[in-house]
Structure 1
């Protein structure tokens, strides 16, 4: 009895295969033409900063390789780090006291982190200004406050209509 049960699926499969016609050969369709895309950089985009986000590690470092590449800064590049209104300004300076680490990271001094209220694990927003050879680091809390102000104005304008 077990042998007849084993044969049933095989017979059923053969019957279904007999009902499905063989595929006919077809010529491959011509590929659709690709649309022409606009130029990747327009004049207004060149004046905008390149942006990235990073998280402060346990050693007080942030990794921003793509922005450092945009600025042309390599490991060992000397820097000057200043704080202005809870924002960190990092400039290339030949006799700067700080430098880019061997792995392409930026070590933020403890005093800078304390003045800007940046703690281990905090997110920061980085903006590279290649035309000015400048990297600006914003604490995420500062960016959130700026966006909250903007959103308040946007929603107020909407309610006034």
Structure 2
């Protein structure tokens, strides 16, 4: 395996180029790592930055020794990840999730899993706006000053994922004035 292994906290991670992803996974499977654990994605880019990159991780286990190995690669906005579902059947679900939630292109384009066909965007990306926080307020306890029984003790901030207060649907009292 032509990778660059790094070990931290007892876990060895093999960093592979995207072109060598499938070859490295096939080599791991052939060496006895036949137990699939998980495949995950990390949004490693900055919102709005050119050349959006995602880090993809694959963790597999050798059932004889119970030793786990992790592969890591980076996928660009225009790149497609080679599927490893033919090696580990459980990887298909994880690849489908990566395609829907992060917009990762996966070879053998997977069908929808969690979101309807009409859904726009990829909800686990950093640049996805959480519009539901604007349309429907957070159901938890009100912040100080919001319930009109006490003076505000701090500046009110926007919910996470809302770009600025002017974004989103207008309230009725704002639109009539």
Q: TM-score, normalised by structure 2?
A: 0.20
Structure with max Cα Rg: 1
Structure showing the higher helix proportion among its residues: 1
Q: TM-score, normalised by structure 1?
A: 0.21
